[in-house]
Amino acid sequence: MHLRKLKFFAIVCFQTSLAAAQSAAYLGFDRNQYPGDANLKALHQTFSYTGYWLNHPPGASSNSWAGHRAAVESAGFGFLVLFNGRLYAQLKTVTDATRLGQSDARAAAAAARREGFPRATIIFLDQEQGGRMLPEQKAYIYAWVDGVTAAGFRAGIYCSGMAAADDGNVVTAEDIHEHAAGREITYWVTNDACPPAPGCAFPQRPPSPALSGVGFAEVWQFAQSPQRKDVAGRCTNYSGGNCNAPGIAAGLPIDVNTATSADPSHGRTR
C-alpha cells in the first residue's frame, strides 16, 4: 500500500477507535447526601447512573441513601454501589485487619441484600487514602474483596488514580492491582487534575475511563465537590468552588464520573 494511503488509513483507524471509546462511555454522578426524590428526573436528563451508599459516607453520622434504591431505579438510573472502608488510623489499632475486612464484607453484603440489589452486583470499597497501601491496608482490602465475592457479589474499589508525589509517585490503583494475586476487582479511579480531567463538565460524549491515566479503570471520577484547589486548581469551569448539577435551580454539588457501562455496578433489577 502506498505510504500516503497507509498514513491516511492509520489516521482514520485512530479517529474511529477514539470515537468508539468515547461513544461507549456514560456519564454519572455521586454525592454523599441523597439528592432527593424531587431531583431525580432532572438529574436523569444528564446522568445515566448514580453512586449509592450502603453505609455511612465519609464524615457522615447517617446514610440518607438507605431505602431509596427502588425510587432511583424507577427514575431510570444505573448504580455505583459504595461501601465506606476503613482509614489507616483505624486499621493500625486493631489486632487483625484481615478479620475486620471479613466482617465489613459481611456487613456490605447484608446491606446490599437489604437494599434489594441482585446477586453479582459490584460493590465498590471506598478507599479514601492514596499512595502505596501499607500492609494493614492491603490485608483489609483483599479480605474484604474475598468476603464480598464469597457472599455472591462482585468486588470493586474506589481509589486514587493519581501519582502520589510524596510517596514515590505510586498510583494507588496500580499498587492494589499489582498485588491482587489474580483477584477479580473492578476499578473506579479518581483523577480530577486538569488535564486529563475536563473539570466540571457534562459532555454528551464522555471520555473513556482509560483516559484517566489508569488503562484498566472502568469508572473515572473526573470532578469533585468541593473543588480540590491543590489538585484541580487548573480547572476553570467550577462554580463557587463546587461542581453543580445542571438543571437544579437551587444548586446541587456533585462529583462527576464517566464509565464503560450505564449501570457500572450492574445493580438494576429490571
Pick from 263, 220, 221, 260: nearest CA to 78 = 263
Backbone φ and ψ for 164, nearest 5 degrees, come out as -85, 105
- Cα torsion 69, 32, 157, 264: sign: positive
d(CA 153, CA 228): 33
pLDDT at 16: 39
H/E segment holding residue 186: strand 185-190
| Residue 11 within any structural domain of the chain | no
Q: Is 69 exposed, middle or buried (0-12, 13-18, 19+ CB in 10 A)?
A: buried
| Residue 92 within any structural domain of the chain | yes
Q: How confident is the model at residue 18 (pLDDT cuts 50, 70, 90)?
A: very low
| Residue 15 within any structural domain of the chain | no
| Residue 264 within any structural domain of the chain | no
38-56 pLDDT, tens digit each: 999 999 999 999 999 999 9
Residue listed under C-alpha cell 431505602:
67
56-66 pLDDT, tens digit each: 999 999 999 99
| Residue 148 within any structural domain of the chain | yes
d(CA 112, CA 1): 57
| Residue 252 within any structural domain of the chain | yes
Q: What is the CATH number of the domain that holds 47?
A: 3.20.20.80
Report in angstroms the alpha-carbon separations of 144 from 114, 126, 132, 151, 175: 19, 11, 18, 11, 16
d(CA 126, CA 146): 16
Range of the domain at 199: 26-259
| Residue 154 within any structural domain of the chain | yes
Q: Is the pLDDT of residue 17 over 60?
A: no
Q: Is the pLDDT of residue 13 over 50?
A: no
pTM for the whole structure: 0.91
pLDDT at 167: 84
- Percentage of the chain lying above the pLDDT 70 cut: 91
What's the domain count of the chain?
1
67-92 pLDDT, tens digit each: 999 999 999 999 999 999 999 999 99
| Residue 176 within any structural domain of the chain | yes
